[in-house]
Structure 1
Amino acid sequence: MGVYRLLLAVLVALSHMGINFAGLNPGVVAVISFLIISGFVMTSLIERNYNALSKVGLFYVDRALRLYPQFLFYLCLSCAVIYFLLPGTPQAAELTFRHIVANLAIVPLDFYMFGLAGTELMPPAWSLGLELCFYLAIPFLLIFKLRGVAFVLSGAVFLVACLGYINTDVYGYRLLPGVLFMFLCGSYLYGEQAKGRLIVAATLLGVAVLFVAIMAGWIERRPFNAEVTLGVALGIPAVFLLTKLRQHPLDEFFGNISYGVFLNHFVAMYLLRALWPLAYIGWYVEAVMVLAFVMSIVSYHAVERPALKLRHKLRAGVRTGAAQAPGSESVA
């Protein structure tokens, strides 16, 4: 899974440098796989550690310790690069108190289209806002067994958006109501329940038909509806198969640096734009990726690993408390 996550981060970076494949935006396709992976991982995490209302707050702390350390590091680095090296640019115009606070909160980044946040300081971070919205919802969906209802409602919103009756980009890709079912596809892949597998298989078939219809011109192609349907059609089998494989140390290494690459490639682009203002072609693309990889390795060891230890202590404490509570069930 680690190599796959790094590949997805690279595809997001390439898309931000204007690289498409067969007229399709690879970054959008990659983001959908990230959503499916998140649904799988969060369900596993909650079922094993935080499957009670009293533990929801601890789940949020766990997620904050995951997202924030490297995010804050690269946000500060991005602001410094913009302030000192890119004055007078659209990025510099967003160095205001309101925009910085919105970035720090993360969630407003998912609602940038409504003017709640800017998108120039950390452009990929809008999807972290979407992730946080999912994190806020998923414990309650699992604890109160509301996944099925949420899946149907979200799928309906997505279909209406995909067909263009409401804004396709906003409600079919950016906001939680239209993409929650994609997260939940990953959620249903966790465990061995036949009903969940049937729901995911039916979804896979449905989005594959939608993709073919869009590419054939039977359904009007709108912003990212082809990429999103392709992302679901490719992401479901990829996540299903990869979660069955045993993790290799090298795979773990690649997974560890994937989050940094996802966050930092714009910092690398800003640095190279300031120092060598050339088009995003040839060696420039390679230089961005090399710089992103190097920065990610450094930030993982210097920033992420200390937070990782705190997360492990938090989960160990939750398991110990559950084991010691009278009548409690053991947690694997």
Structure 2
Amino acid sequence: MGAYRLLLAVLVAVSHMGKTFMGLNPGVVAVISFLIISGFVMTSLIERSYRAPAKIGLFYLDRALRLYPQFLFYFAASCAVIYFLLPGTPQAAELTLRNIAASLPIVPLGFYMFGAAGVEILPPAWSLGLEMCFYLVIPFLILYRARGVAFALSVAVFLAACLGFINTDLYGYRLLPGVLFMFLCGSYLYQARAKGLMIAGGSAVAAALIFVAIMAGWIERRPFNAEVTAGLALGVPAVYLLTKLGFHRIDEFLGNISYGVFLNHFVVMYLLRAFWPVAYDAPIVASVLALSLLFSGVSYYCVERPALKLRHGLRAGARHGAVQGREVAA
């Protein structure tokens, strides 16, 4: 799934350079696949290493070790580029102590639309705030068998947003209540049984039908409702099929650098903007992507890999503790 994750990160970067496909924002479509993948991976992680209420704190620590190293690295890099090279810009105006402090816990970034944190320093990071919100709830949903209820409630919120009864952008794309069921589609794909496949597959089919209705004008097109439904319709089968593929080192490497590309492309864009005004034509887009890939490779090996060793040790300890617990119980 690594190559797919890198493709999604590239689509997000391309969308931030103003590129669309058939009138659709490819970055939004890609983000929905990221949510589905996250649901799958988090369920796998909890089931294999953290399936006990006492281990929820260890799960949170595991996730912090995953998100923070490169986030902090590129957040600091973006702050430096903005401060030294982009004075007087909207980005520089957001470079306040309050915004920096609010951004560091990551979660407030997911609520930037309510003024909880600034978003211009590292714009893609708002979705990390959404991701963190999901991390906070998924252990409880799995351990206490509450996924079904949460799924149904989230679908209701999403449909109300998609049809315009509540804010479509916020509750149909950016906030957890309306997109939780998309994460859970991925969760149901992990060791999928008939019920899980029916839920995830049915969601993809329903999303495809809604997308067709939006594009045909039968449902009013609102901010990103077409992209979100397209992302769900495409993402569920894509993730399901990709999880059936075997391990390959090249695929693993591509997946390893995807997170850096997702985070750092705005830093590259800010760097280019500092030296000359850029129109994002094909050569500039290619340059941004090439530099983003290069920087991501460096940051993965220099920043993330040390934390990766800590995460693996944490999981091994959690699994060892579970084995010992079963032996004592026996």
- TM-score w.r.t. the length of structure 2 is 0.98
Query: What amino acid does structure 2 have at the position aligned with 1:112?
Result: Y
1:195 equivalenced with 2:216 (yes/no): no
Q: Tell me what 1:319 maps to.
A: 319
Query: What amino acid does structure 2 have at the position aligned with 1:209?
Result: L
Q: Is the 8 A contact 2:50 2:319 kept in 1?
A: no
CA-CA distance at 1:321 after TM superposition: 1.2
Alpha carbons of structure 1 residues 271 and 324: separation in structure 2 relative to 1, 3 Å: same
CA distance in 1, matches of 2:43, 2:122: 28
Q: Is the 8 A contact 2:201 2:237 kept in 1?
A: no
CA distance in 2, matches of 1:13, 1:317: 37
Q: Is the 8 A contact 2:12 2:28 kept in 1?
A: yes
User: How is 1:122-141 mapped onto 2 (pairs within 5 angstroms)?
Assistant: 122-141=122-141
* Consecutive unaligned residues in structure 2, runs of 5 or more: none
CA-CA distance at 1:127 after TM superposition: 0.3
CA-CA distance at 1:328 after TM superposition: 6.3
1:252 equivalenced with 2:252 (yes/no): yes
Query: What amino acid does structure 1 have at the position aligned with 2:210?
Result: L
CA-CA distance at 1:200 after TM superposition: 1.1
Q: Tell me what 1:84 maps to.
A: 84
Q: Deviations over 1:250-283 (max 9, x none)?
A: 1111000000000000000000111122211131
User: How is 1:291-310 mapped onto 2 (pairs within 5 angstroms)?
Assistant: 291-310=291-310
CA distance in 2, matches of 1:129, 1:32: 15
Q: Tell me what 1:204 maps to.
A: 204
CA-CA distance at 1:326 after TM superposition: 4.8
Aligned-residue identity in percent: 73
Alpha carbons of structure 1 residues 328 and 289: separation in structure 2 relative to 1, 3 Å: farther
Q: Tell me what 2:144 maps to.
A: 144
Q: Tell me what 2:290 maps to.
A: 290
Query: What amino acid does structure 2 have at the position aligned with 1:216?
Result: A
Q: Is the 8 A contact 1:36 1:236 kept in 2?
A: yes
User: How is 1:39-54 mapped onto 2 (pairs within 5 angstroms)?
Assistant: 39-54=39-54
Structure 2 residue matching 1:105: 3-state secondary structure: coil
Query: What amino acid does structure 2 have at the position aligned with 1:99?
Result: N
1:164 equivalenced with 2:164 (yes/no): yes
Q: Is the 8 A contact 1:208 1:229 kept in 2?
A: yes
CA distance in 2, matches of 1:328, 1:71: 41
CA distance in 2, matches of 1:59, 1:114: 28
CA distance in 2, matches of 1:21, 1:197: 30
Structure 2 residue matching 1:325: 3-state secondary structure: helix
Q: Is the 8 A contact 2:107 2:129 kept in 1?
A: yes
Q: Tell me what 1:269 maps to.
A: 269
CA distance in 2, matches of 1:212, 1:244: 28
Q: Tell me what 1:102 maps to.
A: 102
Judge which range, 299-308 or 202-211, deviates more.
202-211
CA-CA distance at 1:293 after TM superposition: 0.5
Q: Deviations over 1:8-62 (max 9, x none)?
A: 0000000000000000000000000000000000000000000110000000000
Q: Tell me what 1:70 maps to.
A: 70
Alpha carbons of structure 1 residues 94 and 249: separation in structure 2 relative to 1, 3 Å: same
Query: What amino acid does structure 1 have at the position aligned with 2:62?
Result: D
CA-CA distance at 1:319 after TM superposition: 1.2
Q: Is the 8 A contact 2:11 2:27 kept in 1?
A: yes
Q: Is the 8 A contact 1:322 1:329 kept in 2?
A: no
CA distance in 2, matches of 1:225, 1:111: 19
Structure 2 residue matching 1:196: 3-state secondary structure: helix
Q: Deviations over 1:100-145 (max 9, x none)?
A: 0111011111111111111100100000000000000000000000
Alpha carbons of structure 1 residues 213 and 97: separation in structure 2 relative to 1, 3 Å: same
Query: What amino acid does structure 2 have at the position aligned with 1:100?
Result: I
Q: Is the 8 A contact 1:151 1:181 kept in 2?
A: yes
CA distance in 2, matches of 1:282, 1:191: 42
Aligned residues: 330
Q: Deviations over 1:197-242 (max 9, x none)?
A: 1111211111111000000000000000000000000000000000
Structure 1 residue matching 2:116: 3-state secondary structure: coil
CA distance in 1, matches of 2:229, 2:278: 34
- Root-mean-square deviation (CA, aligned residues, Å) is 1.1
Structure 2 residue matching 1:118: 3-state secondary structure: coil
Query: What amino acid does structure 2 have at the position aligned with 1:102?
Result: A
The runs of at least 4 aligned residues of structure 1 exceeding 3 Å deviation read 326-330
